[in-house]
Structure 1
C-alpha cells in the first residue's frame, strides 16, 4: 500500500525557516517594532543552506528567520507594550489634528507606556559572567554615544545617560585596578580590563568634533543603546556592590558642568558616608574577602623600599645572593631554534596596580587629559594635576609645584639657544621661585615624557626608560599588545639580524648597491678611474692569483672557467662541488708554479660584493636541498594530504613575502639612518 505523499513546504527546511514578511504578519506589529523587538531579544536573520527549498523555488533576495524564534516571540510581554504605544499614538495624532495640543501632551505624559527591559536582561544573561562576556560591544557603543553631540536624532538625555554609566564603570576599573592593556589606534583608544576572570575589550573614540552623516540609521543604533544602557546599569550595580560600594555614586552636577568628569562622582561605602575629605575612598567599606586580600598585598614591601633599605634578616642569614637572584622575573628560553615559544611569566597584579603610585603627574594642555587621567589612576597614581582650563578635579593646577615628578607634554623640544626667561625678584630682593614657561624653560629634577610613555609602560608592565620618550625624541614603535609575532613573521621588537634568514642580508646589501649605482650612472658623475678591470682577477673563493702572467693557456683556462661559472643552468649540486674543488686545485697549482719560477704572488682579497655572492650561493644551495627533500616527502603523501599541504604552503609563502617586504623596508630605513648619523 503506497504511503500518502507529503505536501511541499510542510516539513524539512521549508518548515524550519520563515520569511520576515510572514513573521511581521504573524506577530501583528509594524516592521520598526519587529526590528526593535529582535534586537532586544537577540534574534538575528539566518541564512539557509538551500534557499530554493526554503522559498519553494524562488530565488529572490529574502530575509529568513528561524520559525522557533518567531514562535518564541509570540509570548513576549513587550508586544502588549508596542500595541498600547500604537493606540496611544493614534489618539495623540487625532488630538493634534483637532488642534488640541494640551490634550495631546496630557495623553503623552499619562498614557504613553514605558518600556522596561529588566526581564529581558535576566533572560539573556542567566549568570553575571554571561553579562561580562557580552560587555565589549556595549561599552564601545556607549562610549561612542557619550562623545557625540546632541542632535535631533540623538537627544541630550541619552548622551548624559551614556556619560554617567561609562564614568561609573571607569571608577570601578580604577578602584579595582582591573585595567591591563591599552593601545592607541587610528579608530580610537582600545582598553582591556580583566573583571572576575573575563577579559573585556572596548574602544573609546578620540575627543574630536564628530560630524554625523545623513546615511546613518540612528533608530537602529538608538535601539542598541537603549538595551546596552540597561545592561550596563545592571553590571555597574553588581560590580559596585561586590566591592562594598554604594550604587549609584554621588554625582556633583556643578563639578560636571566645570569639566570634572571623573571628579564629579564621589564613591562611598555601604555603611558609611564620606566625611567631606578630599579622598572619596577614605571611608569606603570593603567586604571581608576583598579586605583580606588587600591586607595581604599591603603587607608586601614596596619595590622602592626594597631598593633603598637592605634586607637585614637576609643579610644576617647570609642569603644576599639568593635575594638578588630572585629579584627579577625568570624567563623561559627555547631549547632549540625550532622549539615552541614558551609563555613568559608576568609581574604580579599588585606590582602592576601600583606602577605609578610613587609619582605625581602634571598633564600639559595639549595632552589627552581624559584618557591619561583614567590610565594613571587605574595604575595607582593618586596625584594627577593639569591646567585649570582643562576642567575641574585636578590635584594641582600649578605647573611649578615642586611635588610634581613627571610632566607629560606633546610639544616640540626646546629651541637651541632660546633665551632664558626673566626671573622676577621677590619682596626680599632675592630671586623668586622659577616659574615654568614652556617651551622656554624646564623645572629641575622633573622628568618630561611624551604621552606614549604611559601606554608603553602599562603594556610592558614596567617603567620604560624616560629618555627614549623625551620631548622631540623619535619614539619607539607603538605596537598592539594583543598581537604576538608567530614563527617566520616579521617582529619589529627584534633586531633585523636576528630574524633574517641566511643570505638575505647580503641580498639586501647588493640590491642597495645596485640602486645606488643606477642612480649614480643617471646623474653622470661616475668616476671612470674607479672602474677596475677584472679580466685577470680571481673568481669567487680563489683569493690569490699570479701577477703578470704571459701564458696564453692560463688566460684561455681562466676565460673558460669564467664562462663555465656564468653558465650554471644545467649544473647539479655534485658538479658544483666538484667544480669548486677543481678550482681550488688549479689555484694551488698556480701558486706552486709561481714559487718555482720566482714570480711575485699577489694576494687579491675578494670584494664585499663577491663575498655576498658567495654567501648567497651557499644559502641558495641549502635552500634547494631543503626544497628537494620536501618534494621527496610530498611524494609519500596521499592526494588529499598533498592538497592540504599545498594550501598550507601557499599561506606560508604569502606570509614570507610580506615579512621579507617589511624587512627590506626596515633595512633601507636603517641604512639611511646610519648614513645620516655619519654625516
Structure 2
C-alpha cells in the first residue's frame, strides 16, 4: 500500500506561498518586504486554482512563488533592514529618555546605507539587458525630475534625477542617437537607438505639478532608488565607451540660472573646450572657415584658396556646375541615398523600409542657427535640435542660461521658432535699441519679422526629425493651420485608414459615388417640402395630436382609428384634386406613365435588396411624382452595383463555409466580424475626411 500524501505538501499548495506567510518567514515588516521585492524584481503570481493553492478558506489573497521567497532568505539586504530596525528602537529609546543629542548622534552615524550594486549585476548580467529595461526607468526619472519638492519627495532625489537625465541626454546629443519624437496629451515621447536597442520613454510637459495624496510615493520612491542606481551604471558604461569622462563636470551656478543642458560640461577624447567651440561656430557663421577646411585641418593659405574655389564653383563647357554631377563626391552622395522597397502588387507583403543612418540624422539642422521665442518650450526644442546637429541655438535671457545668443535681431539667425498668432495694427518701427552692460541688444517688437529669416511653429521641428528631412516651412508659418501631427510608430496596415495617403487610393469601388448620392438625397430631403398647387411648402414639425391620440388615462395610442380615418380623408381629398392644368388628358397620361415608372423602380429596388422604406420614399401617398423623382441620383447605380457585388460575395462565402468543419467555420466567422468592424471604422474616418475636404473646397 502506497504512502498517503498529506494535504498541502505537493502541487500548487507547495509551489505557492501567501504574502503573510512570506513576511513571517523572512521576519521583516510589510514595507521592507515590498522594498525587497521591488529591488529583486519579484512580483505576485496568479495560481491556476486559488482554492488548491490556499491552505485557508480565504481565496482573495496575494500569492508568490515559494522558490522566490526561498531565494530572498539569502539576500544581504535583510541584514541591513534588521540593523535599521534595531537603530530605530535605539533612537526611540533615547528620545523617550530625553537624550536628544544621543538620538541625533545615532541617526547621523549609525544609519545603514543601502548598496544596490550587487542587485544590478544580478538582474542584468549583460549590458544589453540593462538597455532593454531602460524604458520604465527613464520615464519615472524624468517624471520625478519635474516634480516639486515636498515632504514625500525630497529635493535631493529630484536633483539626482535631473542630473542623471541630463547626463543621458548629453550622450544622445554627442552620438546623435535620437531617432523619433511625438507630442501627445500625456507628454513628449522620445525614441533613441543605443547600441542597437530601441529605447522609448515619456517626458511630461513643464507644467506646474500638483502633488496629490492619493499616490503612494513610498512605493514610487523605492523604484526611483533602484532606477537611479541602474541609470548611473548605464551612463558610466555609455560615457566610457565613447571616451568621455564620467561623471562630467557640473556647473552649479549655471544650473541655478536655468542652464540645464548647459550646466554639464563634457570632457574626454574628441571634446573641445566650450570657448573654442563657440569661436569656431562664430567663424563658421561669418564665413571665415568652411566645413571642409575645418575637417581636414589645412594650413591658412590652402584654406583661402579652397574658400575662393567654393565661392566661385567651376563650370563645365555646357555651363553646368561641376559640383552637380561631375564632382568626385557626387557618386558617393548618390550611393549613400537610402533605397526604398515598393510592393509589386496589391496582395504583396509590405517590406520594412530602411531607416536613416545616424550620420544623416545628426546633420539635419547642422547648417542652421535657431532662435527660440519666449513662448516656445525651450527644453525639448534645445534637446532635439542639438541631437540633430544644431550647434547654435539662441533664446531670450528670460528662458535661462546657456544660449548661443540672446539678441533676437542677430543677423546670423536663419530660423526662428514662434508659437504665437500673428498680430496686426502695430507701429511700423521694428526694433528699438536697449543698451546693456556689455553691448547694444536690439529687441524686436512682437508681430514684426526680420527679412531673410524663416519663421516656423514648433511642430515643424518634430515633423522634420520624424521624416528625417526638411519639410516645407510655408506650411508651418505662424498662424497657419498646421498639418496633422501623426505618431511615427503607427504603421499603416492594409485595409485600415491611412491619413497620409490620398483618399482616392483608400476608397473601395463605388464608395465615393455612394457617398455623393447619399449627400444629394439628404440635401433634397432637407430642401424639399410638401407640394401644394405646384408650390413647395415649408416643412413643419408634426404635433403629437397629428400622429397619436390620448386615451382616458393620458397614454398615447399610435395607429388609432381616428388616425386612419383622418389619413384616409386627407388621401382622398388630395387624390381628388387635379391641379390647375387645363389639359386633363395629358395629365392622366403622365400620371399613368409615372405609376409605371414607380412600379418598375420598386421592382428594381426589391431586386437590389433595398428596404420598403427606401423604395417607398420614392413616391407620395397619391402616386404623384416627388420633386426630382424622375431624375435618378448619382448614387443609385453605385449602391445597386455595390449591393449586387456584396450579395454575390456573401453567397460565394456561404458556399465555401459549407465545405468547412465546425471549428474552422467559427474561426472564419470571428475573422469576418473583426474585419467588418475595422472596415466600418475606416469607412467612418474616410467619410469624415471627405466632408472636411468638401467643406474646404
For the criterion TM > 0.5, the same-fold answer is: yes
- Within 5 Å, give how 1:328-343 maps onto structure 2: 329-343=338-352
Of residues 377, 391, 400, the one that matches 2:409 is 400
The superposition leaves residues 356-392 of structure 1 with CA deviations (integer Å, 9 ceiling, x where unpaired) of 0000000000000000000000000000000001000
Return closer, same or farther for 1:324/1:165 CA change in 2, 3 Å cut-off.
closer
Q: CA deviation at 1:410?
A: 0.2
Q: Does 1:477 align with 2:477?
A: no
- Within 5 Å, give how 1:660-671 maps onto structure 2: 660-671=683-694
**In structure 1, distance between residues paired with 2:188 and 2:222:** 25
Q: CA deviation at 1:350?
A: 1.2
Q: Does 1:502 align with 2:505?
A: no
Residues 430 and 444 in structure 2, CA contact (< 8 A), matched pair in contact too: no
Q: Does 1:493 align with 2:500?
A: yes
**In structure 2, distance between residues paired with 1:137 and 1:433:** 45
**In structure 2, distance between residues paired with 1:450 and 1:641:** 54
Return closer, same or farther for 1:138/1:11 CA change in 2, 3 Å cut-off.
same
Residues 274 and 280 in structure 1, CA contact (< 8 A), matched pair in contact too: no
**In structure 2, distance between residues paired with 1:470 and 1:307:** 33
Partner of 1:536: none
Return closer, same or farther for 1:530/1:197 CA change in 2, 3 Å cut-off.
farther
Return closer, same or farther for 1:392/1:313 CA change in 2, 3 Å cut-off.
closer
The superposition leaves residues 260-308 of structure 1 with CA deviations (integer Å, 9 ceiling, x where unpaired) of 00000000016x99656253999xxxxxxxxxxxx9xx79xxxxx9998
Partner of 1:277: 275
SS at match of 1:139: helix
**In structure 2, distance between residues paired with 1:522 and 1:34:** 76
SS at match of 2:258: coil
Partner of 1:623: 646
Residues 363 and 388 in structure 2, CA contact (< 8 A), matched pair in contact too: yes
- Within 5 Å, give how 1:65-464 maps onto structure 2: 65-269=64-268, 277-279=275-277, 312=322, 329-415=338-424, 418-421=426-429, 436-439=444-447, 441-464=448-471
Q: CA deviation at 1:178?
A: 0.3
Bigger drift between 493-502 and 448-457 goes to 493-502
SS at match of 1:237: helix
Return closer, same or farther for 1:364/1:324 CA change in 2, 3 Å cut-off.
closer
Return closer, same or farther for 1:54/1:506 CA change in 2, 3 Å cut-off.
same
**In structure 2, distance between residues paired with 1:618 and 1:383:** 62
SS at match of 1:190: strand
**In structure 2, distance between residues paired with 1:269 and 1:660:** 57
Residues 385 and 397 in structure 1, CA contact (< 8 A), matched pair in contact too: yes
**In structure 1, distance between residues paired with 2:234 and 2:336:** 39
Residues 174 and 379 in structure 1, CA contact (< 8 A), matched pair in contact too: yes
Residues 266 and 280 in structure 1, CA contact (< 8 A), matched pair in contact too: no
SS at match of 1:571: helix
Partner of 1:566: 602
Q: Does 1:62 align with 2:71?
A: no
**In structure 2, distance between residues paired with 1:572 and 1:648:** 27
Q: CA deviation at 1:482?
A: 0.4
Q: CA deviation at 1:318?
A: 12
SS at match of 1:352: helix
Structure 1: give runs of 5+ residues left out of the alignment.
Answer: 283-294, 300-304, 532-547, 574-603, 675-679
**In structure 1, distance between residues paired with 2:434 and 2:323:** 51
**In structure 2, distance between residues paired with 1:83 and 1:433:** 63
Q: Report the count of equivalent residues.
A: 598
SS at match of 1:333: coil
Q: CA deviation at 1:98?
A: 1.8
Q: CA deviation at 1:339?
A: 2.2
Q: CA deviation at 1:351?
A: 1.2
Partner of 2:682: 659
Q: CA deviation at 1:437?
A: 1.2
Residues 268 and 281 in structure 1, CA contact (< 8 A), matched pair in contact too: no
Q: Does 1:465 align with 2:493?
A: no
- Within 5 Å, give how 1:548-563 maps onto structure 2: 559-563=595-599
Bigger drift between 190-199 and 340-349 goes to 340-349
Return closer, same or farther for 1:90/1:521 CA change in 2, 3 Å cut-off.
farther
SS at match of 2:275: coil
* TM-score normalised by L of structure 1: 0.81
Partner of 1:12: 11
Partner of 2:618: none
Of residues 588, 604, 613, the one that matches 2:636 is 613
* TM-score normalised by L of structure 2: 0.79
Partner of 2:22: 23
Bigger drift between 177-186 and 615-624 goes to 615-624
Return closer, same or farther for 1:180/1:323 CA change in 2, 3 Å cut-off.
closer
Residues 608 and 644 in structure 2, CA contact (< 8 A), matched pair in contact too: no
Q: CA deviation at 1:610?
A: 2.3
Q: CA deviation at 1:616?
A: 2.1
Return closer, same or farther for 1:648/1:280 CA change in 2, 3 Å cut-off.
farther
Q: CA deviation at 1:564?
A: 3.0
Residues 268 and 280 in structure 1, CA contact (< 8 A), matched pair in contact too: no
Q: CA deviation at 1:624?
A: 1.8
Q: CA deviation at 1:517?
A: 4.1
Q: CA deviation at 1:562?
A: 3.1
Residues 267 and 281 in structure 1, CA contact (< 8 A), matched pair in contact too: no
Return closer, same or farther for 1:554/1:511 CA change in 2, 3 Å cut-off.
closer
Bigger drift between 498-507 and 457-466 goes to 498-507
Q: CA deviation at 1:353?
A: 1.1
Structure 2: give runs of 5+ residues left out of the alignment.
Answer: 281-291, 297-309, 315-319, 539-583, 610-627
Return closer, same or farther for 1:104/1:443 CA change in 2, 3 Å cut-off.
same
**In structure 1, distance between residues paired with 2:521 and 2:254:** 66
**In structure 1, distance between residues paired with 2:70 and 2:323:** 73
SS at match of 2:633: helix
The superposition leaves residues 60-117 of structure 1 with CA deviations (integer Å, 9 ceiling, x where unpaired) of 3100000000000000000000000000011011111222221111101111110000
Q: CA deviation at 1:257?
A: 0.3
The superposition leaves residues 522-553 of structure 1 with CA deviations (integer Å, 9 ceiling, x where unpaired) of 899xx95799xxxxxxxxxxxxxxxx997989
